[in-house]
Amino acid sequence: MPNMQIDLAALASFVDTTLDYNADYEEDCFCFSFGGQRVYCERHRNFFKLEVAGKAYQLPR
């Protein structure tokens, strides 16, 4: 299996402009596909926790 990279800047932009504004992402925990990768997301009061390919990231809300 090839080591796939994800564009973190593009992912951050997608999160910022989409997750709080689209009914498809209204749950507190959900998965979505982005850049050929599955992303697990937890919505917290002040940040999003994202897990991509075994790595965790936090993005402010």
13-54, pLDDT tens digit by residue? 999 999 999 988 999 999 999 999 999 999 999 999 999 999
Separation CA 14–CA 16 (nearest Å): 5
**Does the pLDDT at position 2 exceed 60?**
no
Q: What is the 3-state secondary structure (H, E, C) of 1-56?
A: CCCCCCCHHHHHHHHHHHHCCCHHHCCCEEEEEECCEEEEEEECCCEEEEEECCEE
- Confidence at 4, pLDDT banded by 50, 70, 90: low
Tokens read off for 7: 């564009």
- Confidence at 3, pLDDT banded by 50, 70, 90: low
The model's pTM is: 0.85
Asked if 42 contacts 29 with a C-beta cutoff of 8 angstroms, the reply is: yes
